[in-house]
Each structure stands twice: as structure tokens, then as C-alpha cells.
Chain A
Amino acid sequence: MKKFIVIVLLVLVGLFLLLAVSKMPIMGDPDSPTNAIATSRYIAKGPQETGCNNLVSAIILNYRVYDTFGEITVIFVTLTAALAILGREKAGEGVSPLKVSPSPLVSTIMIIYIPFFIVFAFYVAIHGFNSIGGGFQGGVILASVLVIYALVFGYDEAVRKFPPKRRILFEGLAPLCFVVVGFMSILAGTNFLNLNFSSVSHFRNFLTLILEISLGLTSGVAIASLFYILKKVERE
């Protein structure tokens, strides 16, 4: 019975979606409504007004930075909720030790690779101004470094290396960075988080860089913390 209802619902929703799709403008049409309004401004003046040749970075770090602030709030709230549900892990307590010692080949390769991974993460984050990349991507690469460390050397060792005390600093850093930059622009006499308050373009680029790195660090460290919370197993 449930299957029948779901199939009927699927067919109905599919028909409506197909009707909507057939009324959409042709894909790739330069004159369609979505491509008409604000985009020409972003494309024409983006590099001069924001200092980013990468237009996606230009939008999320300058034109729509208020949205990015909200997004960071979402990550922070997610982390808080996860901590409220499962609780923070403690170093070397109540965690099952690794049954198999890591293979010497894998651990040696990882010891050689991990510095390059971290350099690559920061390269992706900083290079997001002019090329493919961005703060968020770099941050997630950083998080994957922490995850790989926990998978190769065991959970206990990873928690000892990156204890929660050290991670709390970064988890609270980025919302704070955003608030500080926002109030800086208020003190300079413009709106909250308006970066274009000074006539010196280098200062604006510097603020954008701060925002980008703080975005990367928070998202990365928060995602790594979510992984550590999820991996925590308590046995009596």
C-alpha cells in the first residue's frame, strides 16, 4: 500500500517537474532572465571593485559577504549541536586503541606527504583570488589531512596530536574574525562588512585575504571536529 502511494506521488511530482522543465528557457541562452540582471555588473566591474579575478570568490567574499557570515554561523551551530548530542572526545580516554599497528610503508609515506598536503591546502585557499580554489576548498583539504592522520596512525594518536584544546581556538576564530572586520568597517563609517571603505586597494585585498583564510580554517577545523566526534567510541 505504501509502495503504491509513493509510486503515485513520484509520477505526479515527475509530471509536474517535466511540465516546468518544458516551459523553461533554452539552456545556455544569454538573454534568459537569470543571466540578465546583476551578472553584467559582476563580470564587468568585479576585478576592479574586489581585487579577485575569480568571480566566485569575488561574490562570496565581497559582494555577498554577509551571506558568507551566515554560512559560517550555520557551521558553528552544527558543531555546537553535535557537541550537545554526542559530546567532545577526550585525549586517551575511553577510546578503543588501534588493534593493528600501522604498516611502516604507509606511515612513512604519510609522514613525508602530510607537510605537502598542508602546503597544498593553504595554496588552494590563498590562490582562490586569481584561479581555481578558495577558502572553503582549502579548508576541506586541511580537514582531510586530519582525517587521514586519524585513519593511518590511529584515533588515539590523532587526538593526542590535535587535542580539542588546540582546535577550540580555531573553531571560534572565524566568526570572531568576521565580526572584527565588520565592526572595523562600521568604525570607518560604512555598512557592516563593507570592505570598500578605504581608497587603498591593498588594504581591501588584505581584509579579503583575512576573511578567506578564516573561512577556510573554520570550515576545515569544524569538519575535522565533526569527524572526531562521530568516530568517538566509548566502551566500559
Chain B
Amino acid sequence: MLKASFSNLIYVVSMILFLIGFYAVAMRPSLIKKIIGINIMETAIFLFLIGIGNKKGGASPLVVEGIEKYVNPFPQAMVLMALVVGVGTTALALILAVRLFECENGEKR
């Protein structure tokens, strides 16, 4: 088990980052810290997906004459879309947090 884990080091690292983000979401009282935790979990999963698409000795997916072996481009495209959605969700969460703060402190809109 340990040997397999070492050759899959990227997976283990993304797992640890996911757990750290989970800890931040569960234990930190501040809302901003919770949102940072969600972002850390997000990037951990992106790291996992990119690790899945990796090939040993593969070039990055920009087609050049004379190179046959490329990294799998499909997970990368999906991760690019997820990055965009991640920006949107983070911004919306921050806006909700700001609105919540204003409601609690009795400020008018």
C-alpha cells in the first residue's frame, strides 16, 4: 500500500490538501476562512484530475510536428471549465457573506 502510494504521490498530496480544506470548512469560525477552505478543496480536486490525465514522457497538449505522445487533454479541458465556474461560485459566496454581515450589523442596503 505504501509503495503504491509513493508512485502515486500526486494523488496522496491532493488527498491531504482536500483534508486540510475540509478541516478549514468544518472548524474555522470565520466565513471568509470557510470560503478559502472550499477553494483549497477545489484546487486539490483539480490537481487530482490533472494527475489522472498525465502520461509518463508525454508532451503538453500543443500539437507540434514530429511529436507523437501527448498528455491526455480531456481532463485539462474539463478543469478549465471548472476553474471558470469556481470563480463564479467564490464571488457569489463572498457576496452572500458580505450581505449576511450587513444584515447582522443592521446596515441598510
Task: Decide if A and B are genuine partners.
Answer: yes
Residue in B5, B57, B77 whose CB lies within 8 Å of A60: B77
Contact of A85 with B80 in the complex, beta carbons under 8 Å: no
Interface membership of chain B positions 89-109, coded 1 if the CB is closer than 8 angstroms to chain A and 0 otherwise: 101101110110000000011
- Quick check: is A35 within 8 A (CB to CB) of the other chain? yes
**Whole-angstrom distance between the alpha carbons of A85 and B98 in the complex?**
10
B-side interface mostly = helix
Interface residues in B, total, Cβ within 8 A: 53
Give a binary string over A166-198; 1 marks a CB under 8 Å from any B CB, 0 the rest.
Answer: 000000000000000000000000000000000
Contacting residues of chain A (64-110) with chain B, CB-CB under 8 angstroms: 64, 67-68, 71, 74-75, 78, 81-82, 85-87
| A147 interface hit (Cβ, 8 Å) | no
Q: A35: which B residues are within 8 A, CB to CB?
A: 53, 55, 72
Q: Say yes or no for A119: interface residue by CB 8 A criterion.
A: no
What 0/1 pattern do residues 27 to 50 of A give for CB contact below 8 A with B? 111101011001100110011000
- Say yes or no: B53 contacts A34, CB within 8 Å: yes
* Given A42-B73, A43-B70, A71-B81, CB of A24 within 8 Å of CB of B22: no
Q: Give residues of chain A (3-41) contacting chain B, Cβ–Cβ below 8 Å.
A: 3, 6, 9-10, 13-14, 17-18, 21-22, 24, 26-30, 32, 34-35, 38-39
